[in-house]
Amino acid sequence: MSQKQVFKPNREFAKDARIKNMCEYQALQDYATEDYEGFWGDAAKEKLDWIEPFSNVLDESKAPFVNWFDGGKLNVSAQCIDRHLHVRKNKAAIIFEGDRGDVQTITYLDLYKHVNRFANLLREDFHVKKGDRVVIYMPMIPEAAYAMLACARIGAIHSIVFGGFSSEALRDRIEDAEAKVVITADGAFRKEQPYMLKPVVDAALTGKTPVKKVLVVQRNHEDVEWVAGRDYSYNEMISQKKSKCEPEVMDSEDPLFLLYTSGSTGKPKGVQHNSAGYILWAQMTMEWVFDVKENDTFWCTADIGWITGHTYIVYGPLAMGATTMMFEGVITYPDSGRPWKMVEDHKINQFYTAPTAIRVLHKTGEHEPSKYDLKSLKVLGTVGEPIDPPAWKWYYEEVGKGKCAIVDTYWQTETGGHVISPLPGATPIKPGCATLPLPGIMAEILNPATGEKVGVGEKGYMCITKPWPAQIRGVWGDEERYIKSYFGDVEKDGKPVYFSGDGAVYDEDGYITITGRTDDVMNVSGHRLGTAEVEAAIKKHDNVAEVAVVGKPHPIKGEGIFAYIVLKCDEGVADEVEEVKAINNIIKKEIGSIALCDDIVFAPGLPKTRSGKIMRRILRAIAKGEKITQDISTLEDPGIVAQIEEMVK
Ligand code: WTA
């Protein structure tokens, strides 16, 4: 199956779809092009429940800092819950399936009560106020969603840290955001065994910390340390709280959350999203890209610690009043039929996952889908990295039985929601191709040198040339970094435009294929990791003199981590196995298991230019096992290349 093959939308499906054909798509895109503010202003009026209407659609006077819907007042938790109570209070808002198969259905009315109690607890007992930062370090349990929405209700800014991050990574994020409260759990269950989170929080809070209170949800009921005056039990406190809490009246541009993500330096960036624009686009993309209908059940397998979990497990589905599935466990446990069993059991209509998961499910359970009734499925989605044709084909044929559209959604933490994606009832799809910008998104592949749109087949930079409502509003505490990271590389008509960090190419139909990062950010199992971040962790090992980390293609993870390490001792490595262990332990402690190296080579030196710059291109080529064709005579020590090549063989 090549990228040239085109698959038309399922006609039956298209009949009822919100966007039914390419003419409708084009009409929306034309409207946005002709009257940008009209397009977005109409959408915001129609989709959002305003406490007070906005007076201005877009203010670009301080670009690249932008304001959307100024003057408007709303509350995101009310948008996600309260407004649904008249129409769907007994409808399932969240269906939770635990690792061990335990199921909980939480209706919109239940959700209202849980979130209001939680909000009262934070407000009354922990004195959390509008604008305060709250770190959430939680497993995939409904209380994580309640915590997010409770923060939104009282105007606190949440910052979720993925539960796989280590205590050091958690500590950095807590300190950067100056969070005063951490919400966590004792732990949860994975493969029927309890695992722990609270000890990681304890370790992150040793020494000086801005955190005053820790709220602990007891999920696995294992013993944990308890710091008197700091740690409180959610389970004990929550039943005493009132189930009504007035939502804080928020400005359109009041911050909703921070989410730290990797960039090209060692320090993660706190990506800031604000209220109105973010929730508007979360809802609109749910409606357009997944085309979720009133009685549908939607399942996104991401973790709430990533942007995909924020937008497509919690905010998007709830804003539109959908039923969203939440899963605590591992998709290959007890076997690779687990997700298909869940599709059958819960009659899932839209299934959204990452290519790395599809590859694992394909490899370990090729024929599992046919053992289950998957008739409910209408739309399949992927996100996080380009999907390779074999995985795409299996997903399309075995899971979707050739009748479900695959929406290959391209977006980022910074874009808040999808920006380039097929529409399931309209866009003819091609394997591995994100296709076209969504209506309202002015995405273009530009030549960074000229700022002009590239021609067919010519690689360029994936840019967005106009602000959009769900765009990143800033890097927490660092205005310069926001400008430099996103608006420093490409100008169009003399004006800086948003550059994603990704390369891309147009085909003859104008379809966009993302070719991958152009910077030093890796994409490991769909997770973003900066090479500099991993290098900074490895450098903490006493014996390490120098290190260079590169990504290397990996059959399951997409990209694996390859580290070249120069040790301090001249005699070489005493015990390689022990050194590798020690280095991996440091990575685990500093970042977490997601950043463990797939390959470590103890090199005698690194290829550098005479000015001392490490030639990563050469290291990437060696890691891939490619022949070095470029001129290496300008290197400080050209002989080093052959030595490293010999070691990697
Ligand atoms: C990559 C995840 C190709 C891309 C939502 C981007 C993709 C980074 C796709 C963002 C896709 C995401 N095709 N590449 N459909 N979706 N990416 O911030 O490199 O965790 O810049 O957001 O993932 O990762 P992030």
Contact (Cβ atoms closer than 8 angstroms) between residue 550 and residue 521: no
In this structure, how many other beta carbons lie within 10 angstroms of the beta carbon of residue 581?
A: 11
Contact (Cβ atoms closer than 8 angstroms) between residue 80 and residue 148: no
The pLDDT value recorded for residue 264 is: 78
- Ligand 1 binding pocket mutation candidate from 289, 385, 388, 525 (most atoms within 8 A of CB): 385
The packing angle between helices 576-590 and 531-539, to 10°, is 120
Contact (Cβ atoms closer than 8 angstroms) between residue 579 and residue 543: yes
Task: Annotate 360-369 with b (16+ C-beta within 10 A) or e (fewer).
Answer: bbbeebeebb
Backbone angles phi, psi at 297, to 5 degrees: -120, 125
For residues 372-395, average pLDDT: 96
Say which CATH superfamily domain 521-648 falls into.
ANL, C-terminal domain (3.30.300.30)
DSSP string for 405-463? EEEEEB--GGGSS-SB---TTT--B-TT--BSBPTT--EEEE-TTT-PBP-TT--EEEE
Closest CA to 550 of 447, 459, 621: 621
Residue range 104-251, CATH number:
3.40.50.980
Residue 581 CA to ligand 1 centre (angstroms): 31
The residue whose C-alpha atom lies closest to atom 22 belonging to ligand 1 is 412
The pLDDT value recorded for residue 265 is: 80
The residue whose C-alpha atom lies closest to atom 15 belonging to ligand 1 is 410
Q: What are 318's two structure tokens?
A: 């709830």
Measured over the CA atoms of residue 251, residue 252, residue 257 and residue 261, the dihedral's sign is negative
- Ligand 1 binding pocket mutation candidate from 313, 411, 486, 557 (most atoms within 8 A of CB): 411
Spatial distance between the Cα atoms of 520 and 523, rounded to a whole number of angstroms: 10
Single-letter amino acid, residue 323: T
For residues 187-201, average pLDDT: 98
Residue 1 reports pLDDT greater than 50: no
- Ligand 1 binding pocket mutation candidate from 3, 300, 412 (most atoms within 8 A of CB): 412
Closest CA to 599 of 640, 557, 543, 627: 557
Residue 13 CA to ligand 1 centre (angstroms): 27
Closest CA to 265 of 473, 480, 504: 480
- Ligand 1 binding pocket mutation candidate from 260, 264, 285, 410 (most atoms within 8 A of CB): 410
Residue 571 reports pLDDT greater than 80: no
Residue 412 CA to ligand 1 centre (angstroms): 5
Contact (Cβ atoms closer than 8 angstroms) between residue 464 and residue 419: yes
Spatial distance between the Cα atoms of 354 and 272, rounded to a whole number of angstroms: 24
The residue whose C-alpha atom lies closest to atom 12 belonging to ligand 1 is 384
Residue 133 CA to ligand 1 centre (angstroms): 26
For residues 450-470, average pLDDT: 98
**Per-residue pLDDT tens for 223-254?**
999 999 999 999 999 999 999 999 999 999 99
Spatial distance between the Cα atoms of 113 and 406, rounded to a whole number of angstroms: 36
Under CATH, what is the fold of the domain 11-77+274-517? Rossmann fold (3.40.50)
Q: Which atom of ligand 1 is found nearest the CA of 521?
A: 19
Residue 308 CA to ligand 1 centre (angstroms): 10
Q: What is the pTM of this model?
A: 0.96
11-77+274-517 and 104-251: same fold?
Answer: yes
Model confidence at 627, pLDDT cuts 50, 70, 90, reads confident
The pLDDT value recorded for residue 629 is: 81
**Per-residue pLDDT tens for 51-71?**
999 999 999 999 999 999 999
**Per-residue pLDDT tens for 66-102?**
999 999 999 999 999 999 999 999 999 999 999 999 9
The residue whose C-alpha atom lies closest to atom 7 belonging to ligand 1 is 385
Single-letter amino acid, residue 13: F
Closest CA to 87 of 51, 49, 144, 42: 49
DSSP string for 542-553? TTEEEEEEEEEE
For the chain, the structural domain boundaries read 11-77+274-517, 104-251, 521-648
Q: What angle do CA 346, 350, 353 make, to 5 degrees?
A: 100
Residue 410 CA to ligand 1 centre (angstroms): 6
Contact (Cβ atoms closer than 8 angstroms) between residue 396 and residue 6: no
Q: Which atom of ligand 1 is found nearest the CA of 514?
A: 3
Q: Which atom of ligand 1 is found nearest the CA of 261?
A: 18
The packing angle between helices 36-47 and 22-34, to 10°, is 110
**Per-residue pLDDT tens for 424-446?**
999 999 999 999 999 999 999 99
Q: What angle do CA 85, 87, 91 make, to 5 degrees?
A: 75
The pLDDT value recorded for residue 204 is: 98
**Per-residue pLDDT tens for 262-303?**
887 888 999 999 999 999 999 999 999 999 999 999 999 999
Q: Which atom of ligand 1 is found nearest the CA of 501?
A: 21
Spatial distance between the Cα atoms of 636 and 639, rounded to a whole number of angstroms: 9
Where helices occur in 140-208 by DSSP H, the ranges are 142-154, 167-177, 198-204
Where helices occur in 18-166 by DSSP H, the ranges are 22-34, 36-47, 76-80, 85-88, 108-120, 142-154
Q: Which strands form 213-217's sheet, in the order they lie side by side?
A: 231-233, 213-217, 181-185, 133-137, 157-160, 255-261, 269-274, 474-475
**Per-residue pLDDT tens for 25-47?**
999 999 999 999 999 999 999 99
Model confidence at 473, pLDDT cuts 50, 70, 90, reads very high
Residue 565 pairs with which residues in a beta bridge?
547, 602
Determine if residue 288 is left, alpha or beta; phi over 0 gives left, psi from -120 to 50 gives alpha, anything else beta: alpha
Tell me the residue length of the chain: 649
Ligand 1 surroundings by CB, under 6 angstroms: 261, 306-308, 383-386, 408-413, 434, 500-502, 514, 517, 523, 528
Q: Which atom of ligand 1 is found nearest the CA of 408?
A: 15
List Cα–Cα distances, 540 to 11, 207, 578, 588, 599, in angstroms. 58, 19, 16, 12, 18
Q: Which atom of ligand 1 is found nearest the CA of 434?
A: 15
Spatial distance between the Cα atoms of 603 and 643, rounded to a whole number of angstroms: 8
The residue whose C-alpha atom lies closest to atom 8 belonging to ligand 1 is 412
Spatial distance between the Cα atoms of 311 and 325, rounded to a whole number of angstroms: 13
